[in-house]
Homo-oligomer: A and B are copies of this chain.
Amino acid sequence: MKWWGWGEEHISFTHDDKPDLAPFVRKHIGIDFYSGGASMVDLESIDLPATRLSAGLRAELVTAVGEAGVRDDRLDRVVHAYGKSMRDLIRVRRGDVGRPPDVVVYPRNESDVSKVVRAALDADAVLIPFGGGTNIAGSLEPERNEGRAVVSVDMSRLDRVLEIDDSSQLARIQAGALGPSLEEQLRVKGWTIGHFPDSFNHSTLGGWVATRSSGMQSDKYGDIADMTKAVCVVTPSGTLVTRAVPSTSTGPSVREMILGSEGRLGIITEATVQVHRIPKERVILAYLFPTFSAGLAAMRDISESDASPSVTRVSDSFETQFSFATKKKSSRLDQLTSDALKTYLRKRKGFDLAQMSLSFIGYEGSPSHVAYQRKIVSKIVNQHGGVSVGKGPGKLYDQKKFDTPYIRDFLLDRGGLADVSETATSWRQLEPLYDAARDAALKAFGDIGVQGWVMCHMSHSYHSGACLYFTFAFKPTDDNTALAEYDAVKSAVQQSFVDNGGTLSHHHGVGKEHSHWMTEDVSKAGVTMVRALFNGVDPGDNFNPGKIV
């Protein structure tokens, strides 16, 4: 894993094969791909504080997980100091690693985790579970003034699918399993979990559960909160085991207390999740709508219809233009920007091309079920003035869907900041919130005095609403002001969410980054309840203190 960016060392974003991108970015964000890059420190030059781990606790940890499983080398401590938020990347590239963990332990199984927890509690140390390290809400970062020893518990060795119950369509999976690994272990037996967040390649089941994750096909498969039927968690008062029952009136739901708990209640070691037979057919179709508003209305009507697509996604005109700018030479997106199509849309369909919105809708199941749904959706798309533009762009989207985070590093290398903020709200509030969030971002750019870009797509349709996913980018005034300017934009967008009926995040969790908006999201009494739960379960504040509330 890159200590300074997303994913693996040998993978990075390139614009070499995308001739329209550099001019687009230069024009709209003011970043020049060809002029001087940003500076970054060397790993060796980072000023790493001495470990506070006592010899006694170290010995206990070695007893728990073996000598090879206890690491405090430079790279391990730096990688485990943060997640991968924009704030994290800005800081780590400067050599600011905050208050890094004193040691990283790699348990091999649940028993190891129990021993680690016992040892840490006995020594009044802090425990921070670490899955794939992709968190962008600050959930992995120790408190800056933490005086106790901090133990990062890396779950990567607990990576197996333990059992598949064919009859119940349930799989028991260890929490440290990364997306591709668990999906491959399921695939060879004919199953899929159907959970594909942007971070899929580098995030773990335990991380998804701990942050209430949502995936690209959640319209069909549900969010992780829906698909997780049981959890196994090492808590301060022993190992929590819930039952993999399809539903229960046993309340308040203990399973739901673990979902989104971000390490505050214990360390998740296993989850039992719904799995599905790999569908016979899977297709993602692209559509174009005359406006974002028309696209949203169509998605709403689809959510009320008898169709149940696996993916519903529509980009605003700005994201649509950006998508077109990323097209490769002679790529499948070509058909979307051909003169013939443009003429047809303008002349025959009355499109204003500057307002046009690109949409993807996915279908899965038996060929007849896919056909049945396509027919229903097609009618709705028509009613809203949209047109189908075939499978080509959808295939491209499907292949490239996990690559987006690499663009952040690419821009950072060139002195630009790009980040995302997303929320969910009711269908009624969707457009007012969209307008408010755009205005808030643009006002923030103006106040700072920078050129900025903001674009958005709707994804994840539900019966009563959807997720709006914003991406914003700008070139900060200089390196010293970058973080403050980032804060100003990010805060303005987040504030517009809660001011307009949205939640603080649809699928990125709370962590430190969003905890400021907890009271507005769940009210003062709600914060009291969450705090009561944390304090009661973890009176010593040893489990990932400071996160969420």
Contacts and interface: CB of A to CB of B under 8 A. Distances in A.
A170 B464 contact: yes
A246 B463 CA distance: 7
Nearest to A168: B426
B248 A212 contact: yes
A372 B526 CA distance: 44
A26 interface: no
A536 to B, nearest CB: 2
A76 interface: no
Interface stretch (A1-9, A148-156, A255-263): A255-263
Interface string A350-371: 0000000000000001101100
Contacts of A167: 300, 426-428
Interface string A69-112: 00000000000000000000000000000000000000000000
A526 B366 contact: no
B274 A463 contact: yes
Given A366-B306, A523-B240, A250 B260 contact: yes
A211 B247 CA distance: 13
Given A235-B525, A257-B252, A522-B254, A170 B509 contact: no
A313 interface: no
B428 A248 contact: no
Interface stretch (A29-37, A44-52, A332-340, A499-507): A499-507
A544 interface: no
A212 B245 CA distance: 14
Give the most central of A365, A465, A524, A548: most B CB within 10 Å. A465
B532 A245 contact: no
B533 A245 contact: no
A141 interface: no
A237 B463 CA distance: 32
A43 interface: no
A518 interface: yes
Given A169-B463, A242-B526, A525-B239, A518 B260 contact: no
A134 to B, nearest CB: 14
A529 interface: yes
Contacts of A506: 245, 247-249
Interface string A446-482: 0000000000000010111111000000000000000
Given A165-B428, A239-B523, A502-B245, A251 B531 contact: no
B548 A257 contact: no
Contact of A532 (B169, B239, B533): B533
Contacts of A531: 536
A530 interface: yes
Contact of A169 (B168, B248, B304): B304
A214 interface: yes
B533 A465 contact: no
Give the most central of A229, A245, A536: most B CB within 10 Å. A245
A244 interface: yes
B250 A253 contact: no
Given A251-B262, A304-B277, A237 B528 contact: yes
Given A246-B466, A249-B506, 4 more contacts: A167-B428, A246-B425, A247-B506, A533-B533
